Amino acid sequence: MTQTLTILGLESSCDDTAAAVVRQTGDTPAEVLSSVVFGQTELHSAYGGVVPEIAARAHAEKLDICVIEALKEAGVTPKDLDAVAVTAGPGLIGGVMSGVMCAKGIAAATGLPLIGVNHLAGHALTPRLTDGIAFPYLMLLVSGGHCQYLIVRGPEDFTRLGGTIDDAPGEAFDKTARLLGLPQPGGPSVQAEAENGDPKRFRFPRPLLDRPDCNLSFSGLKTALMRMRDQIVAEKGGLTRQDRADLCAGFQAAVVDTLAEKTRRALRLYLDENPACPTVAVAGGVAANTAIRAALLDVCAEAGATFTAPPLRLCTDNAAMIAYAGLERFRSGARDGLDLTARPRWPLDQSSPALLGSGKKGAKA
Ligand code: KG4
Ligand code: ZN
């Protein structure tokens, strides 16, 4: 029988309050009926980072408005829903709790089943929502708080091949922007500056390329950038527009080269095991970077693999990915009770050892 499922999703793990409705009939393509996102960038801009208490309060204030809007935009009422899915971690615990409490309230009031979703699973399953790709595939998740290579075999079956041992690439872009006095979020502003810069003028390190594994490190790039910036300031008394563009271009080239080479290695490992499914997908805010996308596309072409990148609005944090991941869990029979708990840490691959420092600095996933 072809079952139609309509799922409400809630997301509040970092600085975006979001609600969405996703529908799927059998194995036909899933449809995003609505996806409402209230960003909090302005609330945190004076502090140079996300302030957890401010974020949690703003989520609590905005979640019900978001839900009402998402239902209205989708043209559905709670009676049309099959379940409510919510990010239950990982993330800033106050924000995750706001979402979980809101979802529990909806479930208790309507009798709808409750489905807890891992935020990272939401990102990792997005290419199935947007492009309907089949399991298994290799996923590179690159965001402000995470960077990892995952073999995705099922809605709850992930193997991590490697990841960052310190900063995530988005975090490195954001810190670079801060060091150069560019606006936040740093990714788009550094990319824009890099377009007018010479990537060869400053030589940034390519961390961990001397090691054969798929782990990455980005914190050294920020230190290198700070040294170069300070040296120019000491010599010339300040940075010119061109200095800034060249620093951005050098930094971005180092991130691109590192991600390209580590992706080449991860893809080799993945293809050894799954030669019949040569599919690579990318997700997370950093996937918006055109230089990174182009490099990944080249790596996939070299290896004869297909490359998929969801549209930007579904690469960055949103609730459609949570509703969809919830839909996949629901279909496989999973249900959570009102005792569902919010989890600050929640690795997708519980069997892989924790990576040194990974996810420590940013709950942003
Ligand atoms: O996935 P996302 O919206 O939030 C989480 O981290 O969960 O990603 C945000 C991150 C920020 O660090 C931002 O600077 C980065 O993605 N980003 C970019 C670009 N656009 C956004 N990084 C590099 N290049 C971009 N064009
Ligand atoms: Zn995220």
- The one-letter amino acid code at 1 reads M
Contact 158, 301 (CB under 8 A): no
Q: Would you state the structure tokens that stand for residue 182, as one six-digit string?
A: 């560019």
The residues, any chain, with a CB within 8 Å of residue 354's CB and separated by 6 or more, are: 347
Q: Which residues have a beta carbon within 5 Å of ligand 2, which is an ion?
A: 143, 317, 365
Contact 154, 349 (CB under 8 A): no
Which residues does residue 306 pair with via DSSP β-bridges, in sequence order?
A: 279
Helices (H) and strands (E) in the chain, counts: 11, 10
* pLDDT of the residue at 82: 98
Ligand nearest to the CA of 123: 2
| Residue whose C-alpha is closest to residue 195's, from 265, 254, 244, 235 | 244
Q: What is the DSSP string of 134-156?
A: PSPEEEEEESSS-EEEEEEEETT
* pLDDT of the residue at 351: 78
Q: Would you state the structure tokens that stand for residue 272, as one six-digit string?
A: 């050894």
Number of the ligand 1 atom closest to the C-alpha atom of 186: 14
Tens-level pLDDT at each residue, the chain (365 residues): 589 999 999 999 988 999 999 999 998 999 999 999 998 888 887 777 788 888 889 898 999 999 999 999 999 999 999 999 999 999 999 999 999 999 999 999 999 999 999 999 999 999 999 999 999 999 999 998 889 999 999 999 999 999 999 999 999 999 999 999 998 889 999 999 999 999 999 999 999 888 989 999 999 999 999 999 999 999 999 999 999 999 999 999 999 999 999 999 999 999 999 999 999 999 999 999 999 999 999 999 999 999 999 998 998 899 999 999 999 999 999 999 999 999 999 988 877 766 655 443 444 44
- Three-class SS state of 213: coil
- Best substitution site from 173, 195, 315 to test ligand 1's pocket, by max atoms within 8 Å of Cβ? 173
Query: Measured between alpha carbons, how far is 255 from 168 in angstroms, rounded to an integer?
Result: 11
Going by their DSSP bridges, the two strands 306-308 and 279-283 should be labelled as: parallel
Report the pocket of ligand 1 as residue ranges, CB < 6 Å.
14, 143-145, 170, 173-174, 185-188, 191, 284-286, 288-289, 316-317, 364-365
Ligand nearest to the CA of 147: 1
pTM: 0.92
* pLDDT of the residue at 361: 40
* pLDDT of the residue at 314: 93
